[in-house]
Structure 1
Amino acid sequence: MQDLDADLLSALLTVQHRASQREWPFFLIGAGLPNLPAILAEYRSYAERQFLYSTVGPLDRDAAADALRIPVRQHGGEFTDDALEVLVTASGGYLYFLQEYGKAIWNLAPEAPFQTEDAELAVEVGRRHLDEGFFPSRWNRATDSERRYLTAIAATGEDAPRSGKVAELMG
């Protein structure tokens, strides 16, 4: 939703607000990046009170394994335990990464059950696809300040660095 045209977003917020006041059965359901509540509040000061926000983060190991295993089984495939572990670990539970790695193993594995070697190649192919499309598009849309921040995060070498450490690296 954060990428909607400003006029459209403003109109949707206005209509949702008016519908709520009049108890009309009108609902907006959308998805966006973590900065969406702040963006909505820029357009309408009451927007942060108008919606219920749910954060969708990475899946836990079991759910990530199921996200791969269940659809593959529905189509006659199977993973060895080790192959599944390679994909789940490489994905970090992130949904889009699971999709990329799942697509890659499905397309390249010669037969089921998918083996560890298939999974390792799928991670390589999936990462290459992410490097060519997913990450550059986000980097290109980032402001200079956001790029400095992302670079500082990467420079920590940590998965979840504390903001003080990132600020120190940014000077």
Structure 2
Amino acid sequence: MRGGNPFRPSFGTSPRVVAGRADLLDEFDIALDEGPGSPMRSILLSGARGMGKTVLLNELEERARVRGWHVLRLPEGPGLMSELERTVLPARLTEHDPTSQRRRITGGSISAVGSVSTDTSEAYPTTPSVATMLQRLAEIARSHGTGVLLTLDEVQAAPIEDVARLASAYQHLLRDESEIAFVGAGLPTGIAALLGQQGSTFLRRAERVDLAPLRREEVLDAAVRTVREAGRVISAEAGERLADVVHGYPYLLQLVGYQAWRAAGDDEVITLADVEATLPVVVDRMSRLVHTPALRQVPQGQLDYLRAMAQDDGPSSTGEVAARLGVSKQHGNVVRGRLIDRELIVPAGHGLVDMALPYLREHLRRG
């Protein structure tokens, strides 16, 4: 029986079938089982928008949960440490620490003795630090044969002072061989900038995983399985065309699949025409949700270089781009290098460059 549309083209929403990434998931499983000291217990996921960072983060969290680990999603942005200290950790410890409940007698009576009222105060009251609370949570987890996983999405948005404080707490736990792990995810340029600042040492020591586009066979397998499990089939030629349109991007796999499923209406088979019908939506959605944010902080000179490249239907000659802009080859090469660092373009052979993001050319041509 056919169900509803099985594809989920929302950023951060886990698909029904996760394409690729099996090796990383398996390595993380091994790391959790191996114990303290395993290098894959500290991971930094890096990738462009639409490359599936948040989805992969969700999958890694689930791998920890099924083992009984405590999973703490660290607050994103400027409130990271304050929320962790005031809300996230106290709430988790209140729930799981058997010593967190303190009985305070404020009044009562004892027969034959009379009424008594007692109170207790500490001469040197203290507020538990993040490090202290994390250590306690790790001790509780270890007593049950599990551990604590910290995850942080949009790493590049974290204030460096918060990163430094988190690093200090985390490194103390590592030195004590606590059952602790960390997985962060973010955009390449933001992560590079963060890693260049003092206080981010523990991130530099994490295993850096740069998420590459999915292989063609991974896209095809995920599409076929998703469609089949929902009660339909996709024709061979439609599957091949879907893989062309997707360009290896997990987000596009979900978007193209979703739109093709809708285009098929009540038909049992998703056809080539159904996949072709998705292209206008794909270009528009990528333009709004991926390209516009990616270009927001790009200087005008680099935007001009990209627009000059967009005149070509394929890879561009760096010499011809410089000529179109009326600049020297040397100046053009400087701009080219900066765009490569931003991962907006990629080398495509001797003297050639190409767009790094699918449909970026179409976006630039639209103005």
1:81 maps onto 2:81 in alignment: no
Query: Are the structure 2 counterparts of residues 126 and 49 from structure 1 closer, same or farther at C-alpha, using a change threshold of 3 Å?
Result: closer
Q: How does 1:20-169 map to 2 (within 5 A)?
A: 20-35=174-189, 36-110=191-265, 111-140=267-296, 142-144=297-299, 148-149=301-302, 151-153=304-306, 155-156=308-309, 157=312, 158=314, 167-168=332-333
Which shifted more, 45-54 or 97-106?
45-54
Worse-matched range after superposition: 127-136 or 67-76: 127-136
Q: Could you tell me how far 1:165 is from its partner in structure 2?
A: 8.9
Moved more, 10-19 or 67-76: 10-19
Contact residue 10 and residue 44 of structure 1 kept, 8 A? yes
Whole-angstrom distance in 2 between the partners of 1:130 and 1:24: 43
TM normalised by structure 1 equals 0.79
Q: Secondary structure at the match of 1:31?
A: strand
After TM superposition, give the deviation of residue 93 of structure 1 in Å.
0.8
Q: Distance in 2 between matches of 1:161 and 1:20?
A: 50
Q: In the alignment, which residue of structure 1 is the partner of 2:168?
A: 14
Distance 1:72 1:2 in 2: 34
Please identify the structure whose Cα radius of gyration is greater: 2
Q: Quick check: 1:80–1:115 contact (8 Å CA) kept in 2?
A: yes
Structure 1 residue 46: Cα displacement: 2.1
Please state which structure has a larger fraction of its residues in helix. Answer: 1
2 CA distance for matches of 1:12 and 1:160?
Answer: 44
Cα distance, 1:107 vs structure 2:
2.4
TM-score (norm 2): 0.40
Q: Is the 8 A contact 1:17 1:50 kept in 2?
A: no
Q: Corresponding residue for 1:170?
A: 335
Greater Cα offset, 29-38 or 101-110: 29-38
Are the equivalent residues in 2 in contact too, given 1:40–1:47 (CA < 8 A)? no
Offset at residue 22 of structure 1 (A): 2.0
SS at match of 2:291: helix
Whole-angstrom distance in 1 between the partners of 2:268 and 2:241: 16
Q: Using the alignment, how far apart are the partners of 1:135 and 1:94 within structure 2?
A: 14
Task: Specify which structure has the bigger relative contact order, considering alpha-carbon pairs within 8 angstroms and separated by 6 or more residues.
Answer: 2
Deviation at 1:167, TM superposition (A): 3.9
* Aligned residue pair count: 167
Instruction: State the 1:166 CA deviation.
Output: 9.0
Output the CA distance in 1 between the equivalents of 2:282 and 2:275: 10
Deviations along 1:121-155, one digit per CA (max 9) or x if unpaired, are: 12322222222322212222x242xx643553563
Aligned-pair distance for 1:105? 1.2
Where do 4+ consecutive residues of structure 1 move more than 6 Å? none
CA contact (8 A) 2:195 2:204 kept: no
Identity rate, percent: 21
